Structure 1
């Protein structure tokens, strides 16, 4: 998030306050609401503090491309940002933003390293030999 001033993200004007109220009334979990507001604020700041009603599908695509290509966000992060923007446009502003075309996230999920039983035994033996 180095490209966005953290102090700006803390500010909440009337639009954000109305959005937060809408989220509460919709019954979303508090943490989900906080996350959605965070991503919506980033979207607004990314587009030079323009009101979301002035923006549309093209600007959503540009923002998601920025996250995927320039910020190297994971697929899960991109999905959360997309969900927040879909909520903003479909449920809060009652506007359609279908058929979005944006770059998928490039980073793949890292799989955990799993040791075989023989590798665990060998490691255990070497540790006990060192300890004494």
Structure 2
């Protein structure tokens, strides 16, 4: 391990970045250095710009993927190497396209979950929908996270390393109680194939794709689609945006408010102002004037 990598790792640890973020940043910096065959300490704005052009034009990465590379290099040069650059100019972040996710209807959720043939996979995908969890949060649920007395689920260290509580629906509790006797796990609610390890995100993704094929749904379905459906269905049922923000664990209310653009049964059911205008009094035709000879 080079001294620069060690220093960057220490900088990330003292700032309490998640292990996933740390490994992702190290990978991005390694790819950058390997592309030029030199240490990042020897590279500057010209090479950074060339790297961003390479990622965009040659590797054709999505704006979200490029944003990860930009964040990694910003951390390296701003925090670890302490460069006094104008980072908005040297390392501009790509503007992501604003696309609305395709959301499953309640009947499509029922149809999809009905095609999940493995009881453990059915339980975890049902949990993703019932509690609006990210798949990374669902796979790391522990048995102790289920509080049937208060009817809540504790999500430990979700995105942004934040804890939160979400609702435990009675229907989900019944599903988990039917599933539980089949595993007898000691720690993880959804144990994986390796002893002492939770189920992997890849295993959940594979189960999702298999159920999608069986369901015959034309809409794309991923574990994250169930989280989107959770938010939109709550919004359409009348739940306020602030409550949904807390349940989803969003940092910004603006992120949650984007679901207003998708909740068609709420937005499109709003009365047009034309319908609210008072009806005009009909104008009666004037009697014809008598003819004069």
TM-score bracket, normalised by the shorter chain, equals 0.5 to 0.7
TM-score normalised to structure 1 length = 0.66
Task: Compare the two structures and name the one with the higher helix fraction.
Answer: 1
Unaligned runs of 5+ in 1: 1-11, 121-126, 128-132
Q: Deviations over 1:20-63 (max 9, x none)?
A: 12211122111111111110111110111x12221111111111
1:113-128 equivalence runs, <5 A:
none
Q: Which runs of 4+ in 1 moved over 4 A?
A: 101-105, 107-116
Secondary structure of 1:95's counterpart equals coil
Alignment check: 8 A CA contact 2:55 2:66 kept = yes
Q: Name which of 38, 53, 69 aligns with 1:81.
A: 69
Residue 100 in 1 paired to residue 55 in 2?
no
Task: Compare the two structures and name the one with the higher strand fraction.
Answer: 2
Secondary structure of 1:27's counterpart equals coil
Match of 1:130 in 2: none
Alignment check: 8 A CA contact 1:65 1:103 kept = no
How far residue 18 of structure 1 moved from its aligned partner, in angstroms, is: 2.1
Please give the alpha-carbon distance, in whole angstroms, between the structure 1 residues aligned to 2:93 and 2:12. 28
Match of 2:14 in 1: 25
Q: Name which of 59, 71, 85 aligns with 2:59.
A: 71
Higher relative contact order (CA 8 A, sep 6+): 1
Which is higher, the Rg of structure 1 or of structure 2? 2
Please give the alpha-carbon distance, in whole angstroms, between the structure 2 residues aligned to 1:13 and 1:45. 14
Unaligned runs of 5+ in 2: 109-214, 216-293
